[in-house]
Every structure is written in C-alpha cells, then in structure tokens.
Amino acid sequence: MESASSGSEATTGGSTVCPRCAGEDITTVASSPVPGVWQVLQCGRCLYMWRTTEPARRTRRDAYPRQFRLTAADIADAAEVPPVPPRVAG
C-alpha cells in the first residue's frame, strides 16, 4: 500500500487527513484502472475507508458530520467487539 495525497481529501499542511478522526496515517487501498480518476483510501487509526470521488461530507474533515467524528480518545476508549462464537453443529 502507498501513502495517499490527493486534492479531493481534507488536508493539513499538504498531507491527507481522515475525514472521521483527523488521523494522518492514510494509505491507498485501490486505484482506478485509469490513472488519476479515483482512489480508495483507508485511515490507519480508525480504519475508515472512502473513495476520492465521494461527496465532501465523506471525504473532507470540515464537511464530515460532527455527530460521527471521532477523536483519539474516542478510539482509545471504544469497547472491543466481541468475537463471533463458534458455529453449533446440528
């Protein structure tokens, strides 16, 4: 995976930031077959993924809905998801 940098995402000081948690550890998960058309990006801190072609409310921190934004403390204090129990035979 590679580090992402594109004009359609929120940036701080020229680096891409996560719309949901403002994390700066962003990687490119996939790119369009036609270079430069779109990318799928993922935040290394909160694991949020987005396409660069989505609307600003999904790609820019300043436009991301406030009620869904996360802070580093929110992530640190989040409860872990319990594992799925084994399947019962029968």
- For residue 59, the one-letter residue type is T
Are the C-beta atoms of 39 and 52 separated by less than 8 Å? yes
| Tens-digit pLDDT string for the chain (90 aa) | 444 444 444 444 446 899 999 999 999 999 999 999 999 999 999 999 999 999 999 999 999 999 999 999 999 898 887 888 898 887
∠ CA 70-49-77, nearest 5°, is 30
* Whole-prediction pTM: 0.72
| Among candidate residues 16, 77, 79, the one with its CA nearest the CA of residue 48 | 16
Q: What is the pLDDT of residue 16?
A: 87
The dihedral region occupied by 31, where left means phi > 0, alpha psi between -120 and 50, and beta the remainder, is beta
